[in-house]
Amino acid sequence: MIPKISIALITYNGEKYIREQLDSILSQTIQDFEVVVCDDCSTDSTRLILTEYAQKDARIVLNFNEKNLGFLKNIEKAIKLCKGEFVALADQDDIWEVEHLSVLHSHIGDNLLICGDTLLVDEKGNSLNFRFSQMLMIDINLLKSNNEHLLRLLIMDNIFQGAAMMFNRKIIDMALPFPNGIEYHDIWLALCAMALNKFVYIPMVVIKHRRHSVNCSPGSGLSHSQKDGRFRHKMECMVSLKKLPLSEGSRRTIENAENFFLNKNKWYRKHKAFVFWAKNYKTLYATDNMNRFLIRFFKSFFKYRNLK
């Protein structure tokens, strides 16, 4: 029988936390699911733990890679092996809320992708009283349309975590294989759904994301060269997005974001980028607080004018 939901779980040397994650998945209020695991050549006891759980629960389908694929190729492989109508992504070191699947499934409707919020916890699973959506001091709920989400994500940093997502398998043929140059799978999947006007965000915590020494928050402590590299990745995203069956509004949003980056990188056209930035600050910063915007705007200006 084909399960309603597939859970794509990728692992690599995750012995420290994988049991707690598997326990949180198997205790979901929705039980009609499969867990498709792709282990990327772990050298610790991860494979033994996975085998132990699979022997107890037939819904766990194990795939042990013969050679290391790397993060993106491994998650792509796991997604392609999923059979369910809906696919939820899982990281090996998170802890799912007991209603993770039921919340996402009940709110996705006819959208292609839904994303919930994430609570940050320490290595022992204790709450840090901070949500993923609060990292950039924005109010994502102020964005009322997919085009606003699309513009903000194309230009600014990401707050949509893949492990808090569920998507309809209809998006797989459009979004996979991941285009060359795509840096993060969650950004790409969210952009595809937004561009197709089939994305929805709910401000409900569905996972606890563990902060420890081997993970890092997106956008934190990036050098100028790294940020420029991220901008190039976004430009490549825009080229790939244009291949989708887009509405006129989505195509125009992508072109506006593309023009912003082109203007930004030419000293004689930077003023056009700043005008666009100022006109769209409510969307880009997801804020209706002009004072907060002005502070961030002028800080960016003085960094911006010194770029060569």
One-letter amino acid of 268: Y
| Residues 237, 230: Cα–Cα separation, whole Å | 10
What pLDDT was estimated at residue 247? Answer: 96
Given a cut of 50, is residue 257 above it in pLDDT? yes
Average of per-residue pLDDT values in the chain: 89
Mean pLDDT of 160-184: 94
Q: What is the pLDDT of residue 228?
A: 55
- Least-confidence region, from 159-163, 191-195, 212-216, 220-224: 220-224
Domain 5-210 has CATH 3.40.50.180: no
Q: What is the pLDDT of residue 220?
A: 37
Report pLDDT for 181: 82
pLDDT on residue 224: 43
Mean pLDDT within 143-166: 94
The band of 226, judged by pLDDT with boundaries at 50, 70 and 90, is very low
What percentage of the chain carries pLDDT values higher than 90? 69
Residue among 57, 67, 3, 63 at smallest CA distance from 37:
63
- Residue 211 DSSP label: P
Instruction: HSE, CB side, 13 Å, CA atoms: give it for residue 201.
Output: 24
Angstrom distance (rounded) from CA 226 to CA 214: 19
Mean pLDDT of 244-268: 92
- Predicted local confidence at residue 277, as pLDDT: 85
Condensed to tens digits (0 to 9), the pLDDT of residues 56-103 reads: 999 999 999 999 999 999 999 999 999 999 999 999 999 999 999 999
For the ranges 30-39, 76-85, 255-264, which has the lowest average pLDDT?
255-264
Q: What is the DSSP string of 249-284?
A: HHHHHHHHHHHHHHHHTSGGGHHHHHHHHHHTHHHH
Question: Taking 80 as the threshold, does the pLDDT of residue 113 lie above it?
Answer: yes
- Looking at the chain, the number of H-run helices and the number of E-run strands are 12, 9
Split at pLDDT 50, 70, 90, the class of 221 is: very low
Q: Over the range 101-121, which residues count as b (16 or more CB within 10 Å of their CB) and which as e?
A: bebbbeebeebbbbbbbbbbb
pLDDT digits (tens, 9 = 90+) for 13-29: 999 999 999 999 999 99
